[in-house]
Amino acid sequence: MKESKKYHYYTWLVTTLLNSKGLTLEQLNRRWMNEEVADGNPLTRSTFNRYRDGVLEMFGLIIDCDREHRYFIANPSEIDDDSMERWMLSTLTVGGVLADSASLKDRIMLESVPAGEEFLPTLIRAIKTNRYIMMGYQKFGSEGYVKQVAPLALKLSKRRWYLLADTGQDKRTYSLDRIKSVELTKDTFKFPDNFSPQQYYGEYFGVLTDGTPLCKVVVRAYGRMADYLRTLPVHPSQKETLTTADYADFTMQIRPTADFVSELISRGDGIEVLEPAELRDRMAKTISAILKRYE
């Protein structure tokens, strides 16, 4: 069986069980047949058990059975919104749907991703085996260079892939679309004790980690913008603290870096920063500078 088909079956099984209160094997098979998941081939018990093991291995999800012989996902929290498993599930699900809809390629529009994805397999292998890489890199407007770094993690942000690496002096984030070459070395490194990439970026908006102090940020969203923030939060710490008919206030604990300011400005007049005063003043100065461009 092709890997792509196998993954399609896994994601179908996961999403079907997540969207139900539990299904028996008979009910699962009925849906499987009605949706023609496997070209009309039934979902037998042996096949189900095989896919059940595959789901556990790929997503860490346990498919359990209750007393009524209904199957369900026992640990759905494993695919929280910010987890790699959730991203994998979403990507594989969309990929399977698109593969089944090739005839609609002119009516399904996607966003392009900058160059650099060709380095992902090598970088993932280096991260998995804790091996140093020799990386050719060139910043915008600067001379290129080659440097040995220890790859720690990968992060996808704003349609760009980034590599978090230890340079031997500090930890830095490199954009994959500015990487010119990657070579896996034979030398290995020890992953830092008690280091978490999630925590490293956790207090920031994106990948810009410049030591900006952590603070409480309160923004007011007007009209429909409040709905956008509810359905797609700006930051994991975001909480809605005030709701009215005309606006809603959202509070978050975040380090307001330049990319966070740019994100808020991109929301136009739908957003107003209430706290802290320093950030509100910074927003006003940035907006004033933008207006001068058009005078």
What residue has token string 């860490």? 60
- Cβ-based neighbours of 141, under 8 Å, separated by 6 or more: none
Contact 212, 205 (CB under 8 A): no
DSSP 103: G
What pLDDT shows up at residue 41?
Answer: 87
Each residue's pLDDT tens digit, 193-202: 999 998 999 9
Q: What is the pLDDT of residue 5?
A: 76
The closest alpha carbon to 146, from 120, 184, 182, 171, belongs to 182
Structure tokens at 193: 């004790």
pTM value surpassing 0.95: no
- Which of 52-61, 94-103, 172-181, 196-205 has the lowest average pLDDT? 94-103
Domain chopping of the chain, boundaries: 3-100, 117-193, 215-293
3-class SS of residue 14: helix
Residue type, 178: R
Predicted confidence at residue 255, as pLDDT, reads 97
User: Can you spell out the DSSP letters for 243-272?
Assistant: E-SSEEEEEEEE---HHHHHHHHTTGGGEE
CATH 2.30.30.520 fits 117-193, yes or no: yes
- CATH annotation of 215-293: 3.30.70
Task: Work out the mean pLDDT of the chain and round it to a whole number.
Answer: 87
Please give the order of strands across the beta sheet that includes 171-175: 171-175, 160-166, 145-157, 131-137, 179-188
Residue 89: what pLDDT? 60
Using a pLDDT cut of 70, give the percent of the chain over it. Answer: 87
At 108 the pLDDT is 66
